[in-house]
Amino acid sequence: MTTAVFVDGAAGTTGLEIVERLRGRDEFALHVLEGGRRKDPAARREALNDADIAILCLPDDAAREAVALIDPASGTRVIDASSAHRTAAGWAYGFPELVGRDTIAAAARVSNPGCYPTGFLALVAPLVREGLLPADWPYTVNAVSGYSGGGKALIERFRADGAPAFRAYGYDLAHKHLPEMKAHAGLAHDVIFAPSVVPAYRGMIVEVPLHLGAMEGEPTADRLRDALARFYAGSEVVAVAPARDTGELLLEREAEPGDGMTLHVFGNAGGWNARLVAVLDNLGKGASGAAIENLNLMCGLPETAGLRLGA
Ligand SMILES: NC(=O)C1=CN([C@@H]2O[C@H](COP(=O)(O)OP(=O)(O)OC[C@H]3O[C@@H](n4cnc5c(N)ncnc54)[C@H](OP(=O)(O)O)[C@@H]3O)[C@@H](O)[C@H]2O)C=CC1
Ligand SMILES: CC(=O)N[C@@H](CCC(=O)OP(=O)(O)O)C(=O)O
C-alpha cells in the first residue's frame, strides 16, 4: 500500500532534505506545493487533509497553523519538525530510541526532537533513567552547530561577505530547546545551554561536562559508557564509541549528510571528571533523518529504510 505524504515547507532546509531522502521510495506518494501555492492556506489545507501523513518543515507559527488546518476527520497523521509541539500534550516525542518504537508506530501526532536536544537527550536521558546520573543535577550543555541549523536565514548570513568565523549565542539563557531537554530527560532544573555556530554547513557536537566525583555513588566514565552501550545495543542509528584517547572531534566544512549519531564518554585518569559528547548531523538525526525514521515506524516499515547510515 502506498502512503500519501505531504511535505509542508518542502522548499526549506529541512524540507528539501526530507524530499531528497524520500525520492525513489515507492512506498510513498510524495506531494509538495510549488511556487505561489507553497504558502496559500487553501492549497495547504487541501494538501494537508488529503495526506495520510503530513511532515511539517515550517517555522513554529506556521506549524501550529498547519495543524489547525487539519480536519480531525481526515485522519491525517503529522510529523512536526518544528519546536511548536515538543512538550505538548497529545504529541509523541519523536525519538524512538527513547520513547519506544511502538509509541511512534501508533502515534497520530509526532513531534521531531530539536537538533541540540537530540544529542543531549541521547546522552543524559538513559543515564538519568537508570539512576546513574541525578535528575536534580545542574547540567550544562556546550554545543557547536553547522550553520544550516539556523535554516535559510542563517545559511544566507554565513555565506555572505563578512560572515563570522564563530558565533556564540543563547545569552538570554532562554533558548527554545530548554523545555524539551528538561522534560524528556526528566530533570528537576533547566540546563545551562551554551550553543554556537561555525562556518561548516552541517554537523554538530553536543557536550555535557560532568564532575562525576561530586555525585552520589561517584559514577565512573566507564560505567556511563557501558550503560549507554547497553541502552543503544539494538540501534542501527545510535552508536556508542569504545573508550579511546581521542585527541579531537572534527566538523568538516562540507560533510556528507548522515543520519546516524555517535556518542562518546571521555573520562580523566582519576575518574573525577567526564565529558559526554554526541556527534550528529543537525539535518540528519537532528531533523530530516529523524523525520524519515519516524515516518518508517508510523508506516510499519523498517526503521532505517532510506536513511543515510554510511558504510
Ligand atoms: N535546520 C535544522 O537543522 C533544523 C530545523 N528544525 C526545524 O525545522 C523547521 C524548519 O526549519 P528549516 O528548514 O531550518 O527552516 P528554513 O527557513 O530553511 O525553511 C522553512 C521553510 O518554511 C517556509 N514557510 C514559512 N512560512 C510558511 C507558511 N506559512 N506556509 C508554508 N511555508 C512556509 C519557508 O518559506 P520561504 O522559502 O519562502 O522562506 C521555508 O521554505 C523549523 O521549525 C526548525 O526549528 C529542526 C531541527 C533542525
Ligand atoms: C544553529 C541554530 O541557529 N540552531 C537553531 C536550532 C535549530 C532549529 O531551529 O531547529 P530545532 O529547534 O527544530 O532544532 C537555534 O539555535 O535556534
Question: Does the C-beta of 9 come closer than 6 Å to ligand 1?
Answer: yes
Ligand 2 pocket test, candidate residues 56, 115, 154, 180, most atoms within 8 A of CB = 115
SS3 of residue 143 by DSSP = strand
Grid cell, residue 78, equals: 503529522
- The pLDDT value recorded for residue 270 is 83
Catalytic residue among 22, 79, 81, 115: 115
- The pLDDT value recorded for residue 310 is 79
CA distances from 133 to 43, 48, 153, 210 (A): 49, 42, 38, 10
CA distances from 162 to 144, 151, 157, 255, 275 (A): 20, 19, 9, 22, 34
- The pLDDT value recorded for residue 245 is 74
Indicate which ligand has the atom closest to the C-alpha of 81: 1
Question: Does the C-beta of 64 come closer than 6 Å to ligand 1?
Answer: no
**pLDDT tens over the chain, length 311 residues:** 899 999 999 999 999 999 999 998 999 999 999 999 999 999 999 999 999 999 999 999 999 999 999 999 999 999 999 999 999 999 999 999 999 999 999 999 999 999 999 999 999 999 999 999 999 999 999 999 999 999 999 999 999 999 999 999 999 999 999 999 999 999 999 999 999 999 999 999 999 999 999 999 889 999 999 999 999 999 999 999 999 877 899 999 999 999 999 999 999 988 889 999 999 999 999 999 999 999 999 999 999 999 999 76
- The pLDDT value recorded for residue 39 is 97
Question: Does the C-beta of 115 come closer than 6 Å to ligand 2?
Answer: yes
Question: Does the C-beta of 146 come closer than 6 Å to ligand 2?
Answer: no
The pLDDT tens digits of the residues spanning 228-264 come to 999 999 999 999 999 987 789 999 999 999 999 999 9
- The pLDDT value recorded for residue 311 is 60
Q: Is the pTM of this model over 0.80?
A: yes
CA of residue 56 to ligand 1 center, whole Å: 9
Note if 115 is an active site residue.
yes
Question: Does the C-beta of 113 come closer than 6 Å to ligand 2?
Answer: no
Domains detected in the chain: 3-112+287-298 (3.40.50.720), 115-282 (3.30.360.10)
Ramachandran area for residue 53 (φ above 0: left; ψ -120 to 50: alpha; else beta): beta
CA of residue 1 to ligand 2 center, whole Å: 35
Indicate which ligand has the atom closest to the C-alpha of 65: 1
- Output the CA angle 275-277-280, nearest 5 degrees: 170
Question: Does the C-beta of 43 come closer than 6 Å to ligand 1?
Answer: no
CA-nearest residue, atom 4 of ligand 1: 149
